Amino acid sequence: MNRVTSRPGVTDIIRLGLAGAFFTVLLVVIPVTCKAADTLNLSEYHGKVVVLDFWASWCVPCRRSFPWMNEMQQKYGDDGLVIIAVNLDNQSSDAQKFLQQYPAEFVISYDHERQLVREYAVEVMPSSFLISRDGSLIERHLGFKSGKTDEYEAAIVAALGNKL
């Protein structure tokens, strides 16, 4: 796996397997019904296993993924799991309405400028990236399939077992 050393360009992201963008991007996070901070420096999560999830309020599978991500955060947060869900709605109010119905117990960020969408080559909603403690991309999931949650969880557990 590749390690992140600097902020890559788009061609570097493809060469690095998309993980290169992760530890160098700053996002603005606004508080909702979840853990949040004024700004989020993703490099602070080096040493943690991160699920970076891209979602939107209109995304039907996201309605199923949020309760599952809440469960994973509660179950494995103390072991080093951090879930960061990046919203791609044009209007923050749409995301807020979604979060009232499907509260998040993990970090919510916004990517209105689509910087991360481009850097991670997001194709569908939701798209999730499992990133190891050393910043390497472990898995990429397009969509959310309830029948595969055991597989998703097994990948998280395996990543958590690989301590630095």
Compute CA distances 100 → 57, 66, 94, whole Å.
11, 12, 10
Burial of 160 (0-12, 13-18, 19+ CB in 10 A): middle
DSSP string, 20-41: GGGGG-EEE---SSS---SEEE
**29, 62, 137, 159: the active-site residue:** 62
Q: Is 59 a catalytic residue?
A: yes
Three-class secondary structure of residue 71 per DSSP: helix
- End-to-end Cα, the chain, rounded Å: 14
Cα–Cα nearest to 89, from 114, 121, 68: 114
Compute CA distances 126 → 10, 73, 159, whole Å.
21, 17, 21
Question: For residues 7 and 158, what is the distance between their CA atoms, to the nearest angstrom?
Answer: 27
Q: Is 62 a catalytic residue?
A: yes
Report, as residue numbers or ranges, the catalytic residues.
59, 62
